[in-house]
Amino acid sequence: MSDVLQVVVYGLTLAGLYLPIALGLNLIFGVMQILNFAHGEFYMLGALFTWGLLSTLEINFVAAVAISLLLVVGLSIVIERGFFRPLGDDIQRSLIVALGLGLILQTSVVLLVGPDVKHYEFPFGGMLSTGGISVSAEKLTTTLLALGSAGLFYLVLQRTRLGRSIRAVAQDQQAAMLQGINPGRVRSVTIALGSSLAALGGALGGSSFGVEPFMGFDFLLYSFIIIILGGLGSMEGTLLAGVLMALLQSAVTLYVGATEAAMASFLVLYVMLLVRPTGLFGRARKSLM
Amino acid sequence: MKRRVLAAWTVVVLAVLPILVGFDPYWLTVFTSLAINALLGTTIWVLFVVGRLTLGHAAFYGMGAYGVSLLILNAGWNFWVALPVVLIAIALVAVAVGFPTLRARGAYFVLTTFAFAEIVRLGYVRFAHLSGGAQGLFGIPRPDPIVLGGDLLSISFSSYASLYYLILAALAIVSACFFHYVNTPLGLVLKSVHDEPMLAQALGINVFAHLLVTFVVSAVGAALAGALYAVSAGYIEPNLFGIHTSINAQAFAIIGGIGSVSGPIVGAAFLTTLSEGLHVTRTAAPLVTGVALIVASFLLRGGLITLPSRLAGFGASKRDRTRRSPRATHRRRRARP
């Protein structure tokens, strides 16, 4: 029984790592038709800026996270306006540009800050254990914050006027414009929301795993697997697939091994593409790319 | 016709390069990696002809390298026996990967090939007893000599120059095959698959079969490049076959230009010599690739091969300059409501 609880607890911490990235990636794809391979870099920069602010200015942890979120959001809006918007919905070109930007950001960090792992402290530590399972207070807090922000993000999309206009542009840009929605503004808001979620995930995850230039990459891989499983463009699909994938990985990691967990997730993806190519909640679309 | 001449000239230039540097071993290794990169870029180009972009060719490249190396090192096979066996096996893997992914939209294909390549790379580390794990495989021998009878009629691949010409021959043959694949009546079918998949389907063309065959051919080409890399470098490790290799393969094709079969060769030559010429370290190399990709996407659509005509024909209309590029057709299609 405690085994199962351990799997669930570890699975939820994994979900807390994947969901903030996967939701943002999927929303960006839905609104702008961009497979943002630079998204892992927003995650990395969120952690890197937090580390930089904490180690040089010695400010409050919450303030450092907030400032680094603002920095990443600013950068993402500049990238969207300067690089993605001129390309319109040309999915191949924007993918190439995103790959190029990812390489530039990653390598710049390697050259400027160095490839070694850097650490910073989470404000409170200690272990909590009940009923045979144990979890660190840090893991618990970061997971709850990450899952909470992912849930909040989903509510914003579903329940607010802003969220409705974002979903309208994702569904049909022409029709949205006819309703008086400014698609340019929606694009900026979308990338700001997506990158801030990723940066928050990075700032929280960086304290447990350390900060290094390539840290965003693994999460990017699993996030992409999750959004295909859930269906491109479907937020519900991403939420469900993210939790299921995290539980599967947690179980396979605990009983077999970490590499096998990665392979199992690919196997699930493969079977899903054979059985239901559009994912759990995806709809078939007209364009073939 | 012009493109065929351009492609032939590219190969001629590559063939005289070693003479120009006096068969200097350092430059011969640079040219060898250039030719392997060009071969990899060519396999990406043939997929662009049917409008697909893959981020998974590092997997086929790596499986070619590992497959041939393991058969030579562990089973003691002759290179010329191991190579066709590995290529056939990889063709089957490519069918298995392409079958579910090519049916879906392009974005699913990009992401699934990307995930596939990463999982394969993890597999090299996981099955260390077979693949040498993170340390990789050492001491992979050069290709066995081809003996046609007597010393005079045999070709050995012990020197840098002979190895380079072997790889160049492979590049020339693969490029010529792909060129004819694209520029025959079959090529028109492929273009229709790219430009108007729905219409092609309605005309009775089996779009999926053409996509799958092109993907398999392309994957086998990438595996050949990987096998040649393994026997020329003599050493392979899992990190050589990660996402950076897949991105580089894209970069060769895109920076050179996807409008012609010589594009990837020009792109590989440009990126390889640029990195050597600037003495860029392996750490900083992705920065060069990233900047080149963005420049090619915004300022030099159509790649380096369009540069001469751009410089010559500033007076010509934009449509004339980009007419040959498959992307230009793609753009016109999208422009329609």
Q: Is residue B292 within 8 Å of B275, Cβ to Cβ?
A: no
Interface of B with A in 146-165 (CB under 8 A): none
Residue A270, phi then psi, degrees to nearest 5: -65, -50
B131 touches chain A (CB under 8 A): no
Q: Is residue B218 within 8 Å of B210, Cβ to Cβ?
A: no
In angstroms, what is the C-alpha Rg of chain A? Answer: 19
Q: How would you classify the pairing of strands A127-130 and A133-136?
A: antiparallel
pLDDT at res. B316 = 52
Strand, helix or coil for residue B77 = coil
List the Cα angle A20/A23/A25 in 5-degree steps. Answer: 105
Measure B130 CA to nearest chain A CA, in Å. 16
Could you read off the pLDDT of B174-191 as tens digits, one per residue? Answer: 998 888 888 887 777 877
Inter-chain contacts counted by CB atoms under 8 A, chains A and B: 127
Q: How would you classify the pairing of strands A133-136 and B154-155?
A: unpaired
pLDDT at res. B318 = 52
Cα distance between residue A219 and residue A224, in whole Å: 8
Residue A128, phi then psi, degrees to nearest 5: -115, 130
Sort out which chain B residues have CB atoms less than 8 A from A110's CB and list them.
283
The mean pLDDT value for A176-183 works out to: 86
B101 touches chain A (CB under 8 A): yes
Mean pLDDT over each residue of chain B, to the nearest integer? 84
Q: How does residue B334 score in pLDDT terms, banded at 50, 70 and 90?
A: very low
Interface of B with A in 222-251 (CB under 8 A): 243-244, 247, 250
- Give the residue with greater pLDDT, A111 vs B308: A111
Are A103 and B125 an interchain contact pair (Cβ–Cβ within 8 Å)? no
Sort out which chain A residues have CB atoms less than 8 A from B327's CB and list them.
92
B297 touches chain A (CB under 8 A): yes
pLDDT at res. A133 = 67
A116 touches chain B (CB under 8 A): no
The torsion angle over the Cα atoms of residues B147, B148, B153 and B154, rounded to 10 degrees, is -10
The mean pLDDT value for A23-29 works out to: 90
Residue of chain A minimizing CA distance to B289: A100
Would the pLDDT of A33 be above 80? yes
Are B254 and A110 an interchain contact pair (Cβ–Cβ within 8 Å)? no
Are A101 and B290 an interchain contact pair (Cβ–Cβ within 8 Å)? yes
Are A232 and B197 an interchain contact pair (Cβ–Cβ within 8 Å)? no
B280 touches chain A (CB under 8 A): no
| Short-list A44, A282, A88, CA closest to B297 | A88
Q: Which residues contact A207 (CB under 8 A, 6 or more apart)?
A: A119, A120, A121, A122, A138, A142
Q: What's A158-194 look like in SS3?
A: HHCHHHHHHHHHHHCHHHHHHCCCCHHHHHHHHHHHH
Question: Smallest Cβ distance to A93: which of B101, B283, B297?
Answer: B297
Residue of chain B minimizing CA distance to A111: B284
Are A285 and B111 an interchain contact pair (Cβ–Cβ within 8 Å)? no
Are B100 and A274 an interchain contact pair (Cβ–Cβ within 8 Å)? yes
Question: Smallest Cβ distance to B119: which of A35, A107, A262?
Answer: A262
Q: Which helix H or strand E contains A242, and what residues bound it?
A: helix A235-255
Q: How does residue B314 score in pLDDT terms, banded at 50, 70 and 90?
A: low
In percent, the amount of chain B with pLDDT more than 70 equals: 90
pLDDT at res. B228 = 94
Are A221 and B115 an interchain contact pair (Cβ–Cβ within 8 Å)? yes
Ranges A156-170, B110-124, B177-191, B256-270: which has the least confidence: B177-191
Measure B202 CA to nearest chain A CA, in Å. 15
pLDDT at res. A142 = 83
Q: Which helix H or strand E contains B199, and what residues bound it?
A: helix B197-202
Cα distance between residue B212 and residue B21, in whole Å: 42
pLDDT at res. B8 = 80
A85 touches chain B (CB under 8 A): no
Cα distance between residue A275 and residue A218, in whole Å: 26
Are A90 and B51 an interchain contact pair (Cβ–Cβ within 8 Å)? no
Q: Is residue B27 within 8 Å of B269, Cβ to Cβ?
A: no
B316 touches chain A (CB under 8 A): no
pLDDT at res. B230 = 94
Interface of B with A in 22-61 (CB under 8 A): 51-53
| Short-list A166, A150, A158, CA closest to A226 | A150
Using CB atoms within 10 Å of the CB of residue B328, give its burial: 0 to 12 exposed, 13 to 18 middle, 19+ buried.
middle
Using CB atoms within 10 Å of the CB of residue B16, give its burial: 0 to 12 exposed, 13 to 18 middle, 19+ buried.
exposed
Question: Smallest Cβ distance to A224: which of B115, B125, B254?
Answer: B115
Measure B10 CA to nearest chain A CA, in Å. 26
Are B100 and A260 an interchain contact pair (Cβ–Cβ within 8 Å)? no
Cα distance between residue B252 and residue B257, in whole Å: 8
B336 touches chain A (CB under 8 A): no
Sort out which chain A residues have CB atoms less than 8 A from B119's CB and list them.
262-263, 266
pLDDT at res. A45 = 94
pTM for this prediction: 0.87
Are A97 and B293 an interchain contact pair (Cβ–Cβ within 8 Å)? yes
Are B247 and A99 an interchain contact pair (Cβ–Cβ within 8 Å)? yes
ipTM of the complex: 0.85
Q: Is residue B252 within 8 Å of B271, Cβ to Cβ?
A: yes
Are A100 and B294 an interchain contact pair (Cβ–Cβ within 8 Å)? yes
Measure B120 CA to nearest chain A CA, in Å. 9
The mean pLDDT value for A203-223 works out to: 86
Interface of A with B in 121-160 (CB under 8 A): none
- Hey, what are B11's tokens? 């190969």
List the Cα angle A215/A218/A220 in 5-degree steps. Answer: 100
B126 touches chain A (CB under 8 A): yes
Measure A183 CA to nearest chain B CA, in Å. 18
Count the neighbouring beta carbons within 10 Å of the beta carbon of residue B60: 35
Are A228 and B112 an interchain contact pair (Cβ–Cβ within 8 Å)? yes
Q: Which helix H or strand E contains A56, and what residues bound it?
A: helix A39-57
Tell me how far CA of residue B239 lies from CA of A22, A219, B117, B185, in angstroms: 25, 18, 11, 41
Question: Smallest Cβ distance to A221: which of B51, B108, B118?
Answer: B118
Strand, helix or coil for residue B235 = coil
Cα distance between residue A145 and residue A236, in whole Å: 19
Question: Smallest Cβ distance to B293: which of A92, A100, A111?
Answer: A100
- Give the residue with greater pLDDT, B274 vs B43: B43
Cα distance between residue A84 and residue A237, in whole Å: 25
Cα distance between residue B225 and residue B307, in whole Å: 27
Would the pLDDT of B337 be above 70? no
